[in-house]
Amino acid sequence: MPEFESRQKMSVSAKKRCTPEWRKATSEKFRTKIDDMKLAELYSSGMTQDECAATLGVSRKVVANAMKRLGIKPRVAAKRNQTGPDNHMWKGSAANLVCKHKRLYRAFGQPERCDVCGTTDSSKTYDWANLTGDYDNPADYRRMCRSCHAQYDNKIVNLLGRKEV
C-alpha cells in the first residue's frame, strides 16, 4: 500500500502547484521583462509590433504577449506604401526597359494623343517615346503615335550612326 499513499501525496502536491496563482507566479518568473511604458509609447506612435520588438531587442511574440497583458488592442494589419524605393524589390536605374516603361504608364497613364502630329484618333496606337536615351528620367519622354515614334527612332539611329535592328 505504500505505493498508493505516495500517489495520493503526489496528486495533492500537483494540485497545489496547478492553482491559477501558482501558474501566474511561475509565468511571471520566466517572462521576458520589457519596459511596458516604452512599448505602449512606441506602438501608439505608429510603429508595428515587429518594429517595436526590434527597438526593444525582443521577439515579436514577446511584444504581442505584453500587449495582451497590458490590454493594448493590436491594429488591423495593413500594407504600407510599397511603391518605388519603399518596395524591397525596387531596382532603380538597374531595372530593365520594360519595367521603366511600366513606371511611366503607372505615373502618367496610357497616352491618348500624339505630341508630334497632334492626332487624337482612337484607332491609332500611342506610345511613350524616349527622347535622349535617359530612361530613368520621366521628363525625357513624349507621347507619340506609333508612326511618329518609328520616324523619330529612325532619325536617332541615323544621327548616331547605329545600325537598325
Give CA–CA dist 128/15, Å, rounded: 77
pLDDT score of 2: 56
Cβ contact 113:128 at 8 Å: no
For CA atoms 79, 82, 86, 88, give the dihedral sign: positive
The three-class DSSP label of residue 13 is helix
Give CA–CA dist 42/75, Å, rounded: 13
pLDDT score of 139: 87
State the chain's mean pLDDT as an integer. Answer: 84
Bigger pLDDT: 67 vs 98: 67
C-alpha cell at 157: 539611329
C-alpha cell at 141: 519622354
Q: Per-residue pLDDT averaged across 47-69, rounded?
A: 93
Is the per-residue pLDDT at 112 higher than 80? yes
pLDDT digit string, tens, across residues 134-162: 888 888 899 999 989 988 888 766 656 65
The three-class DSSP label of residue 127 is strand
Domain ranges of the chain: 36-77, 92-160
Cβ contact 140:134 at 8 Å: yes
pLDDT score of 52: 94
Q: Per-residue pLDDT averaged across 76-82, rounded?
A: 82
Q: What is the pTM of this model?
A: 0.49
C-alpha cell at 68: 495582451
Is the per-residue pLDDT at 99 higher than 50? yes
Cβ contact 22:54 at 8 Å: no
